[in-house]
Structure 1
Amino acid sequence: MTKPTHLWRASALALALALPGLAAAQAPAGKAPEAKAAETPAPAPIAPDTVVAKVNGQPITGGDLAVASDDPALSLPGVDDAQKQGLLVDYLVDLKVGAQAAEAAKVAETPDFKRKLNYFRDKLLLDEYLEREARKAATPEAARAVYDQSVKLMKPEEEVHARHILVDNEAEAKKIAARIKGGEDFGKVAAETSKDPGSKTEGGDLGWFTKERMVKEFADAAFKLPVGQVSDPIKTQFGWHVIKVEEKRVKPLPTFDELKEQIDQHLIRKAQQDLILKLRQEAKIERTAAAPPSPSEQKPEAAEPKKP
């Protein structure tokens, strides 16, 4: 039988979240649901040392509440801040009650618990240390330098802004191409005849795209077609297309602001990796004979020479 390691999660928090659904399920049939009450105003911040509850004399503080609020497992989407704070206090009370019972049962004295405690302490220490140190690397100057270097490496790409009409067969595509070349509005014909649900309501408009975003036959035709002209029918795996090119341009380079968050994450990850490598190099690490081999230390087997 699997050990129920997560039974403690069925606390006041879980029960409180379940109650609204339970109440709705038990409502009399045919009764109209009541109007949703206005959201409770966000609660004022609680100072870290402020006691919000006591369990057998042991305090639960605003600081404890803040730590629980940051726990991804307790994100509680759809619950407003005031309700969440109240639910978290109930959760921390259950946590404290359970922890006190576990202490009384001497759970903390077992070798297994001590190993787990040491592991999670080391993990939490490392996470906090890496986050603190790595954020020092994500300076505005470093981010700007990465952006400038990245922009230099970006190759200019041509983009096309085009419309298309998709149909099932060549004969129908030829008729549509003739209508448009005869003066009918492309957007109106697209709305009337196109089988592409994604662009039909937009008059066949596909927006701007680079060549690699489209299947080869479509891309080749669209990028060769002069601006303002309508193509003959083009066959792809999706059917038959009639294409009109509206505009062409060189794809604009992304701005610094558009890439800043991505660059910051890159700088943080790189700083963390570099820091771990530095710490390993400076540490005295001894792997005993009982340790499994590290993948980084395993050498690939030499390939046998080809027989003549």
Structure 2
Amino acid sequence: MHRLLSAGALSALVLATPALAQDPAYDASTVLATVDGTEITLGHLIVMRKRLPQQYQQIPDETLFPGMLEQIIDQTLLAKLKSPDPAEDPAEVKLYLENERRGTLAALEVQEEMAAEALDEAAVQAAYDAGVTDFVPQPEFNASHILVASEEEAKGLKDQIDGGADFAELAKANSTDPGSGANGGELGWFTGGQMVPEFDSAVTAMAVGDVSDPVQSQFGWHVIKLNDKRDTSPPPLEEVRGEIENQLRQEALQARIAELRSGAAIEMSGTVVPPAAIRETDLLSD
């Protein structure tokens, strides 16, 4: 899509196609350009836009429209050099178009199947209940820490805390952790394995309200305070509804495909072809 980046060409095309912007009477068959008798329609651009990589989808329509039109014009000219008549297309092109037709139609059918599947609320609830039944609670911790460079600094801070100094104020004044220091050392809730092993081990052994002796990790020396502890609980239904509904639709789609397979005459030829044959592109040569 390098043509999309040509500012001069784009400006010329924008000026050359004012009628489309002014006339709302258009459809997919509206002809935008003709190249040696071959018509380029709005439908061609619409389909092309749907297939663009995500980064191009973000380009403003005023830029995208003329850029795509110019690219299709160039493609039309180049394609005619290779094959002026579809009947004379190389075998690779014919096979590719068959794959594209098959894949596009299948994708459209999947979209319709997924959109048309009316989900029973009881089925959604049942799927959620099954997930809750399988849910295994895990210990979850809420802790704060003060991170410093040396054990000596950490010991000094621990002594101050034991003497009655406020943990949060010491964290604000001394912690080198930019994420939590300004917030009084608070790390929020986390489960085992989310922190470095030394930190995890220390927290697991602490009781709520405890302040640890200095703990060394790859980041430095920590003084840790365990603020609270609880077991994790399953998320509420509304939080995971989208995931559950998608799962149910996928299951319905797989059931539909299985039904189609069972009713179809599918015969494997039995011809032995080595898997590596899919790399033999020379077989496509006319």
Query: Same-fold call, TM > 0.5?
Result: yes
Out of 51, 60, 83, the position equivalent to 2:30 is 51
Corresponding letter in the other structure for 2:272: A
Which structure shows the bigger proportion of residues in helix conformation? Answer: 2
Distance 1:215 1:112, change over 3 A: closer
CA separation in 2, counterparts of 1:47 and 1:144?
Answer: 46
One-letter identity of the residue aligned with 2:271: A
Unaligned runs of 5+ in 1: 1-12, 21-42, 294-308
| CA–CA distance in structure 2, aligned partners of residues 254 and 246 of structure 1 | 23
**2:61 aligned with 1:81:** yes
Amino acid at match of 1:201: A
Distance apart, 1:67 and its partner CA: 1.7
Pairwise CA distance, 1:158: 3.3
Q: Give deviations 1:154-209, integer Å, cap 9, x for gaps.
A: 22333222111223443322111111232333233223333434323333221111
Match of 1:17 in 2: 5
| Cα contact 2:146–2:176 (8 A) shared by 1 | yes
Cα shift at 1:153: 2.0
Q: Equivalent residues in 2 for 1:39-188 (5 A)?
A: 48-49=27-28, 51-56=30-35, 57-73=37-53, 75-76=55-56, 78-104=58-84, 108-137=88-117, 139=119, 141=121, 142-188=123-169
Q: What secondary structure sits across from 1:213 in the alignment? A: coil
Instruction: Give me the identity figure in percent.
Output: 33
> Quick check: 2:147–2:175 contact (8 Å CA) kept in 1?
yes
Residue 273 of structure 1 and its aligned partner are, at CA, apart by: 4.2
Scaled by the length of structure 2, what TM-score is found? 0.72
Tell me how far apart the structure 1 counterparts of residues 29 and 107 of structure 2 sit (CA, whole Å): 27
The answer to whether structure 1 residue 214 and structure 2 residue 195 are counterparts is: yes
Task: Indicate if the aligned counterparts of 1:138 and 1:267 stay in contact, CA closer than 8 A.
Answer: no
Give the gaps of 5 or more residues in structure 2: 9-20, 276-286
Q: 1:274, 1:180 → 2: CA distance?
A: 63
Cα distance 1:277–1:238, how it changes in 2: closer, same or farther (>3 A)?
farther
Give the aligned partner of residue 209 of structure 2. 228
Would the aligned equivalents of 2:146 and 2:185 in 1 still touch at CA under 8 Å?
yes
- d(CA) in 2 for partners of 1:68, 1:144: 41
- 1:98 is displaced (CA, Å) by 4.1
| Cα RMSD (Å) | 3.4
Matched, 1:289 2:271: yes
Number of aligned residue pairs: give it. Answer: 259
The answer (yes or no) to whether the contact 1:161–1:245 under 8 Å persists in 2 is yes
